Amino acid sequence: MSAAINELYAHLSAQAKLHRAVANAVLADGARLFAYPLERGVLLALGAAPGKYLRAEMLLRRRGADLRRFGAWLPSLFNDGSWYLVRRCADSEAQGLDEAEWLAAEELLR
């Protein structure tokens, strides 16, 4: 899983920086991946699949229970009611995150 999502993330990140605009893609399960260019690095957002009901209390409780593992992912509620996990990625992470980071995000969005 992480190899494919890292490839997509690297592509979106490069496109976002090149065009100085948000780049996004829909994953196989309907979840969304966004890359927003920053002066250094990108802002990465992984959104829950459409129709996925998440309660803020549960999401925040799961994250707070293991900040060492989940702390880099910041829960965000978008205007349309969809949940995203957002994190700042340095230029050194341009080729992707390790498997544990993606698994942590997936677990938070369950």
Q: Which helix (H) or strand (E) holds 106?
A: helix 99-109
Predicted confidence at residue 24, as pLDDT, reads 97
Q: Mapping DSSP to helix (H, G, I), strand (E, B) and coil, where does residue 37 land?
A: strand
Predicted confidence at residue 1, as pLDDT, reads 56
Of residues 68, 84, 89, the one with CA closest to residue 6: 89
Quote the CA–CA distance of 3 and 46 in Å, as a whole number.
16
Quote the CA–CA distance of 83 and 78 in Å, as a whole number.
6
> How do the pLDDT tens digits run along the chain, 110 residues long?
578 999 999 999 999 999 999 999 999 888 999 999 999 999 999 998 777 888 889 999 999 999 999 999 999 998 888 899 999 999 999 889 999 999 999 999 98
Tokens 């996925």 found at: 52
How is residue 29 annotated by DSSP?
T
Predicted confidence at residue 110, as pLDDT, reads 86
Predicted confidence at residue 78, as pLDDT, reads 87
